[in-house]
Structures are given as C-alpha cells and as structure tokens.
Amino acid sequence: MVKEKTREKPHDMDNRIQILKDWLSQIQRSKEGKKGRIISICNQKGGVGKTVTAINLSAFLAAYRQRTLLMDLDPQGHCGLGLGIDVDNLDKSIYDTFLNGTGNLTDTILSIKPNLDILPANIDLAGLETELVNDSHRATKLVDKLQSIRHLYEYIIIDCPPSIGLLTINALVASRMVIIPIQSSFFSLHGFERILETIGTLMETLSLDIKVYLLFTFFEGRLRESWIVREKVKSTFGKHLLNTIIRKTTRLNEATRRGISILEYEPRSMGCYDYHQLAREVMEIE
Ligand SMILES: Nc1ncnc2c1ncn2[C@@H]1O[C@H](COP(=O)(O)OP(=O)(O)O)[C@@H](O)[C@H]1O
Ligand SMILES: [Mg+2]
C-alpha cells in the first residue's frame, strides 16, 4: 500500500525553520571566527624577541594575503621603528585615538604595504596606566575598541611591553592566542612561569579562552644547553611548545635596524626561513 503523503504540520515547519536558522548562525559564527584573530606576543622580559617576532610574523601573514594589523602596545614604539616609522613625530598614536577614547581608531592606522597595517605607539603610552587608575573598565579598553575594526583583518598581532601591567592585561583579555618567546638558556626558564600564572588567573577570573604557545627564539643549535632547555620545556609543556624554532642570527637584527622585515631584507636567510615557518604554523593552528 502506498503511504499517503502527509502535509507538514505548522509546528514541524517552525522546527525546520529554527534548525535552518541555527545552522546558518553557526556558519556565520565560524566565518566570524576566521576574522580578526588576535594574537599577543608576550613576555615580561625584555630582549627575548617579542618585537622581532611581532614584525616578522605580521610580514609573513601579509605575504600570505592575510590582512594583518600589527598593534604596538609598548611605549618604546619599537614596532613602528622596526618598520621605518618616525614614532616620535606621529600625528596620532595608539594612545590618542585608541585607549584615550577620542577620535576614530582607523585615523591612527598606517598602511605599510599590501595587507599590512600598523597601529604605532610611542612614549605617550607610558602615562596611560596612571590615567586609567580609577576607570573600572580599564582592563577591557582594548577589546572594546577592537570591536569596530576586527572585521577588517584576518589577524591582529599585538606586541606587548616587557612588563605585566595594564597594557599587557588589555592585550591578553583581547587575545585568542598568546605566543611567549623564550630564549634557549637556563636563565630564561626562570621568569616565564610568571606570565603563565598571570594568563591562568585571567582566564579563570574572566572566563577567557586563550591558547598559549611557547616559541624558542635566539636558538643556538651548536650549544648543548639549547637542546637540553628545549627538551625540558617540551616535556613540561608538550603541545604548547611551537615546533618552529627561531635561530639566532644577526640578519634579524640588521633588518630591524633598517626598518624592514626580514622578508624584504634577506629573503634567503635562515631568519626568513624561520619566520616563514612560524607564520605557516600559526595559520595551521588558527
Ligand atoms: N633570533 C634573533 N637573532 C638575533 N638577534 C635577534 C633575534 N631576535 C631578536 N634579535 C635582536 O635582539 C634585540 C631584542 O629583540 P626584540 O625583538 O626587540 O626583543 P623584545 O621585544 O622582547 O624586547 C633586538 O636588537 C633584535 O634585533
Ligand atoms: Mg619589544
């Protein structure tokens, strides 16, 4: 017997529409997730390769046609200097239009080359912490401001200052991923636990979901110490350690001094190879 085709009841139709709506919003969410991925480069120690990593990771992401914004949260302004910007004579810096809340964020963004923009900082940013001391929203200033520009970029890379103060906390609150550069020496192991603790506490108190990764920088393969330190970190942190290793090379230093990325300065150098690897690994994770 042929079964008579039953007409769909109105509530079945409602259900199906609801399922379709949920499905569409899921797709929408996953598309949004691909936009504006915010990655902070953090370590309270200076001289570990944060800025060089922020600059060169951004340059390679841009070369992969990922629209990238490099954001400098360090009052020393090294990101801008490392990309040839006269940070002492900026019309506007991240301080004026971004954290101070006046004006439009896009007025402060400078275009460096195709797919690569920068939000430069300078010494003005140093006063921010004291100015915001009575602001109850001081830890979320950055994340709030970023909402209006996030959709314009695939990646936003934040270069943090060498301290765990308000600026670093703002960066962490905004980030989905944090890369902690560490040098491959015994001394460097001491201290980076502090930033891990801070991230852990922030994640717990603010219910944040941050992926944390460690990156070896200044790696000297000929030294036994480097490999011992790497093994120790690998056995402790496992998959949180990035496979990419940034080797020590004067070429990276020279590129920064010239105000260009390693990709432009010396495309066949090992520094270029290493940061290329890093960009590829980051794109695979995120
Ligand atoms: N892999 C590397 N090999 C050699 N020199 C490096 C390397 N990474 C960074 N440098 C140099 O070391 C110094 C400190 O690096 P930087 O990125 O400014 O550290 P941070 O931002 O953590 O203070 C800079 O002069 C930079 O050019
Ligand atoms: Mg720096």
What pLDDT, on a 0 to 100 scale, did the predictor assign at position 99?
65
DSSP-based three-state secondary structure for 218: strand
Q: Is 218 near ligand 1, meaning CB less than 6 Å away?
A: yes
Nearest CA to ligand 1 atom 3: 248
Cβ-proximal residues to 110 (8 Å cutoff; 6+ apart), any chain: 85, 117, 118, 119, 120
How is residue 156 written in tokens? 């936003």
Residue nearest to atom 8 of ligand 1 (CA): 49
- pLDDT tops 50 at residue 28: no
Q: Is the per-residue pLDDT at 124 higher than 80?
A: yes
Q: Is 56 exposed, middle or buried (0-12, 13-18, 19+ CB in 10 A)?
A: buried
> pLDDT confidence of 225, banded at 50, 70, 90?
very high
Q: Which residues pair with 71 in a beta bridge?
A: 119, 158
pLDDT for position 34: 61
What's the one-letter identity of residue 48?
Answer: V
pLDDT score, position 184: 84
Q: List the domains of the chain with CATH numbers.
A: 41-285 (3.40.50.300)
pLDDT of residue 179: 97
The larger pLDDT score, comparing residue 245 to residue 1, is at 245
The two three-digit tokens of residue 124, written as one number? 């003005």
167: left (phi over 0), alpha (psi -120 to 50) or beta: alpha
Min mean pLDDT across 114-123, 126-135, 232-241, 266-275 is at: 126-135
Question: pLDDT (tens digit, 9 = 90+) per residue, 46-78?
Answer: 999 999 999 999 999 999 999 999 999 999 999
The finding on whether 192 has its CB within 6 A of some atom of ligand 1 is: no
Q: Which residue has the higher pLDDT, 271 or 101?
A: 271
Q: How far is the CA of 74 from the centre of ligand 2 (A)?
A: 7
The neighbour count for residue 281, using CB atoms within 10 Å, is 16
Query: What is the rounded average pLDDT of the residues 133-154?
Result: 89
* pLDDT for the residue numbered 31: 44
Distance 273 CA to ligand 1 centre (A): 16
Atom 13, ligand 1: which residue's CA is nearest?
47
Q: Report the phi/psi class of residue 217: left, alpha or beta, with left for phi > 0 and alpha for psi in -120 to 50.
A: beta
Q: What is the mean pLDDT of residues 200-227?
A: 92
On the question of pLDDT at 167 being above 90, the answer is yes
pTM, two decimals, is 0.87
What values do phi and psi take at 183, rounded to 5? Answer: -80, 150
pLDDT reading at 7 higher than 70: no
- Tell me, in angstroms, the distance from the centre of ligand 1 to residue 120's CA: 18
CB distance 51 to ligand 1 below 6 Å: yes
User: Of 152-161, 169-178, 198-207, 217-226, which gets the smallest average pLDDT?
Assistant: 198-207
Rounded to an integer, the average pLDDT of 96-123 is 83
Neighbours of 215 (CB within 10 A): 26
DSSP-derived secondary structure letter, 4: P
- Of the two residues 27 and 132, the one the predictor is more confident about is 132
Residue 15 has pLDDT above 80, yes or no: no
pLDDT given at position 1: 46
Indicate whether 9 pLDDT > 80: no
| Residue-level pLDDT at 27 | 44
Verify whether ligand 1 is closer than 6 Å to residue 48 (CB atom): yes
Does pLDDT of 206 surpass 90? no
Best substitution site from 51, 52, 215 to test ligand 1's pocket, by max atoms within 8 Å of Cβ? 52
Residue 67 to residues 63, 73, 98, 152, 263: CA-CA distances in angstroms?
A: 9, 19, 20, 8, 17
- Going by pLDDT thresholds of 50, 70 and 90, the confidence category of residue 30 is very low
Question: Which pair of tokens denotes residue 101?
Answer: 């809340």
Ligand 1 pocket member 57 (CB < 6 A)? no
How much is the pLDDT for 14? Answer: 65
- The minimum-distance atom of ligand 1 relative to the CA of 217 is 1
Ligand 1 pocket: which of 72, 179, 245, 256 to mutate (most atoms within 8 A of CB):
256
Q: How far is the CA of 24 from the centre of ligand 2 (A)?
A: 42
256 lines ligand 1 (CB under 6 A): yes
| Residue 216, ligand 1, Cβ within 6 A | no
The tokens for 24 are 């569409």
Give CA 60 to chain center in angstroms. Answer: 13
Residues near 237 by Cβ (< 8 Å), separated by ≥ 6? 214
Give mean pLDDT, residues 185-207: 83
Q: Measure the CA–CA gap between 139 and 129, rounded to whole angstroms.
A: 10
